[in-house]
Amino acid sequence: MKKSPRKKHIAFKKEFFALPYTAISIVFVVVPLLILLYYAFTDKYTGAFTLSNFSLFLDSAIWKILGISFLMALSTTVICLLLAYPLAMALAKLKSNSAFIVVMIFVLPMWINSLLRIYSVKLLFGDFIGIDKGFLLSLIGMVYDFFPFMLLPIYTSISTMNKGYFEASNDLGANSFKTFVKVQLPLSTPGITSGILMVFMPAVSTFAINDILGSSQYWLFGNEIFYWFQKSLYNTGSALAFVMLLLILLSVYFSNSLNKIISPNSKPSKKNGGVVNEK
Amino acid sequence: MKNKKVSKVFSITFIAIMAILVYLPTLLLVVYSFTTSKVIGQWSGFSFDLYRDMFADFEIMTALTNTLIVGVVASVLASLIGIVTAIGIYSMKKRYKSLLDGLTQITMVNADIVTAAAFMMFFILVQIIPDGFATLIVAHTVICCPYVIMSVLPKLATLDPNVYEAGLDLGATPHKTLWRVMIPQLLPAILSGFALAFTISLDDFTISTFVSSSVETIPQYLYNKLRFKGVMPVLRALSTLILVVAFVILLVVNIVQNKKSKKILFAGGITK
């Protein structure tokens, strides 16, 4: 690579283009999170350091809420995965020019207002079919709301796979089931884990869906956080939001390490797949 | 051979069933927006009454205007900041690049409710920014920026750096080269980034609810009505309208993008 002095000068200048955004995100993203942290660990009146905002976690009620949230998010994720994976496989079989349109059909709902989708679920499953507000209706709402986010990454990972691997696996004597389990599934783990992450995290933190489709009996962690902020009890609210943040960081870390364990070298295969498909 | 055919029929049937399942609720909503009946399943004659009611409803119209104002301002700001930032990140050294990548990831990875709570505490503590349009626009701009950056950055990587050099060699100032050479090439990516930002702003409920108590947007309006009022037939007309707007945006973006990318592909061929 040869570098003319002028180019170096320009590159140096262009770097500064990122400065305004750096400043913006420090002021409006990093600082607010630090403020949240400050509120979580200080007393409402004195401003002194305290852990009392977390005293809620000594009560069993909050653990029940956390349990229900986890169960809800997990069920949503599993149902989405079980529906999305076969669908992604079926979509990947389509011819490329028709596939684009069909995939668009399934991804389109991502662009539709999520409250509107919740409302439509309420109309069909709640008012028309007659499912009462509660865990089940809430679950249906979540599956509808988050399904595209599971489908898209899985479809992307399956459709960019090197098809040669399947042929090789067949040639080497594996039947199609074995090929699926030993070849396709491991190769699609990056798609699966990012799909799981994209469904699980919003499902564990949402409150709007449950407010509209659920009942107070199945109060979720998101509802709890919103409740404290609505009551202007910011310190306890911040403490709960902080716990949510930890949960998210934990699940990101978990999915990243899962990715590394299952398919440590899945990236090269993607590249090869791209080359083969171009033929 | 026969096996293959059976599996193909099976997979197409599966795709069709899933598509019907996905669209059934929305379809019901649209169909029943043309009748005034209170209960779904009971058709009380075709009419545009719900639409008339909707346009006469002051609260709905105010919420619609608010949503559009916030959406347009925030997505334009986010696009401007996003484009400039993407160019900056692209020409950065690796170490700073990963730092900025981390910054853009924060709001994208974080749960909306945590981001929203953090914004709320910030606005309460700082108190310079007045509650309402200002807080909404600031918050929406900040959460939309990463999406614009993410759409523009990969496109930047595919550009031919020689074109920029050529612009300079032919006597254009770096500033002029940026606006006359770089930006037009990036236009499809910018457009999709803008559309993404606009949609995210229109769609946002959680952050808006936390940061604004005086100005109500459409998602907030829908939430309040669905949670506290129960069934309101006029919501079906409103939903259909939002749906149509979303589809039109998507369609326009796709058409323009296809045209632009073909043109640029062609122009790229000439420069080479």
Candidates B12, B13, B26, B236: best to mutate against A (most CBs of A within 10 A) is B26
Same domain for A204 and A156: yes
Q: Name residue, tokens 């007309």.
A: B237
- Is B19 in Cβ contact with A234 (below 8 Å)? no
Give the pLDDT score at B259: 67
pLDDT higher than 90, residue B257: no
Q: Are B96 and A15 in contact (CB under 8 A)?
A: yes
Q: What is the CATH number of the domain that holds A147?
A: 1.10.3720.10
pLDDT higher than 90, residue A16: no
Same domain for A162 and A222: yes
Same domain for A74 and A117: yes
Which residue of A10, A87, A244 is in closest CB contact with B113? A244
Residues B33, B120: Cα–Cα separation, whole Å: 36
Overall average pLDDT of the A113-131 stretch: 89
Give the pLDDT score at A244: 94
Secondary structure (3-state) at A42 = strand
How many domains is chain A built from? Answer: 2
Mean pLDDT across chain A: 84
Identity of residue B39: V
> How many contiguous H segments (helices) and E segments (strands) does chain A have?
15, 0
Same domain for A189 and A98: yes
- Is A115 in Cβ contact with B223 (below 8 Å)? yes
Give the pLDDT score at B269: 34
Give the pLDDT score at B198: 92
The DSSP letter of residue A52 is G
Give the pLDDT score at B260: 57
Residue of B nearest to A38 (CA): B121
- Pairwise pLDDT comparison (A113 vs A14), residue with the higher score: A113
Give the pLDDT score at A42: 92
Q: Are A72 and A218 in contact (CB under 8 A)?
A: yes
Residues A48, A261: Cα–Cα separation, whole Å: 44
Number of neighbouring beta carbons within 10 Å of residue A110: 17
Same domain for A259 and A125: yes
Residue of B nearest to A27 (CA): B122
Angle (CA) B79 B220 B237, round 5°: 95
Residue of A nearest to B77 (CA): A21
Which residue of B8, B26, B111 is in closest CB contact with A248? B111
Overall average pLDDT of the B188-212 stretch: 91
Residues B196, B246: Cα–Cα separation, whole Å: 11
Residue of A nearest to B237 (CA): A116
- Is B120 in Cβ contact with A229 (below 8 Å)? yes
- Is A105 in Cβ contact with B88 (below 8 Å)? no
Structural domains of chain B ordered from first start: 65-271 (1.10.3720.10)
Same domain for A36 and A148: no
| Contact list, B121 vs chain A (CB under 8 Å) | 32, 35-36, 39, 234, 238
Where in the sequence is the domain holding A153, given as residue range(s)? 59-277
Same domain for A235 and A211: yes
Give the pLDDT score at B81: 94
Which residue of A19, A127, A229 is in closest CB contact with B210? A229
Domain membership of residue A8 (yes or no) is: no
Same domain for A158 and A227: yes
Candidates A7, A16, A25: best to mutate against B (most CBs of B within 10 A) is A25
Residues B256, A109: Cα–Cα separation, whole Å: 21
- Is A24 in Cβ contact with B106 (below 8 Å)? no
Candidates A29, A158, A200, A215: best to mutate against B (most CBs of B within 10 A) is A29
| Contact list, B13 vs chain A (CB under 8 Å) | none
Same domain for A137 and A26: no
Residue of A nearest to B196 (CA): A111
Mean pLDDT across chain B: 86
Name B25's Cβ contacts closer than 8 Å, sequence gap at least 6: A117, A120, A121, A123, A124, A125, A144
Domain membership of residue A154 (yes or no) is: yes
Domain membership of residue A2 (yes or no) is: no
| Contact list, B28 vs chain A (CB under 8 Å) | 120, 123-124, 128
Identity of residue B205: F
Q: Are A162 and A188 in contact (CB under 8 A)?
A: no
Residue of A nearest to B7 (CA): A90
A with B: how many residue pairs have Cβ under 8 Å apart?
223
Helix or strand holding residue B175 (H, E): helix B174-177
Overall average pLDDT of the A81-97 stretch: 89
Confidence of residue A217 (pLDDT cuts 50, 70, 90): confident
B61, HSE (Cβ side, Cα atoms, 13 Å): 8
Confidence of residue B174 (pLDDT cuts 50, 70, 90): confident
Q: Are A112 and B222 in contact (CB under 8 A)?
A: no
Give the pLDDT score at A263: 62
Domain membership of residue A10 (yes or no) is: no
- Is A125 in Cβ contact with B25 (below 8 Å)? yes
- Is B40 in Cβ contact with A113 (below 8 Å)? no
Overall average pLDDT of the B35-55 stretch: 85
Residue of B nearest to A17 (CA): B88
The DSSP letter of residue A162 is -
In angstroms, the separation between the Cα of residue B267 and the nearest Cα of chain A is 22
Residues A205, B38: Cα–Cα separation, whole Å: 32
Residues A200, B29: Cα–Cα separation, whole Å: 27
- Is B40 in Cβ contact with A124 (below 8 Å)? yes
Domain membership of residue A14 (yes or no) is: no
Confidence of residue B52 (pLDDT cuts 50, 70, 90): very high
What is the DSSP track for B57-82?
A: -HHHHHHHHHHHHHHHHHHHHHHHHH
Which residue of A83, A127, A222 is in closest CB contact with B231? A127
Residue of A nearest to B200 (CA): A111
Which of A28, A50, A72 is the endpoint of a domain?
Answer: A50
- Is A241 in Cβ contact with B118 (below 8 Å)? yes
Most confident of A66-75, A169-178, B27-36, B178-187: A66-75
Same domain for A185 and A265: yes
Overall average pLDDT of the B26-35 stretch: 90
Same domain for A27 and A99: no
| Contact list, B222 vs chain A (CB under 8 Å) | 113, 115-116, 119
pLDDT higher than 80, residue A273: no
Domain membership of residue A114 (yes or no) is: yes
- What is the tens place of the pLDDT at every residue in A192-215? 998 999 999 999 999 999 999 998
Same domain for A133 and A36: no
Domain membership of residue A4 (yes or no) is: no
- Is A10 in Cβ contact with B174 (below 8 Å)? yes
Name B130's Cβ contacts closer than 8 Å, sequence gap at least 6: none
Least confident interval from A129-138, B39-48, B184-193, B241-250: B39-48
Give the pLDDT score at A104: 84
Q: Rg of the Cα trace of chain B? A: 23
| Contact list, A86 vs chain B (CB under 8 Å) | 14
Tokens (6 digits) for B37: 């009946």
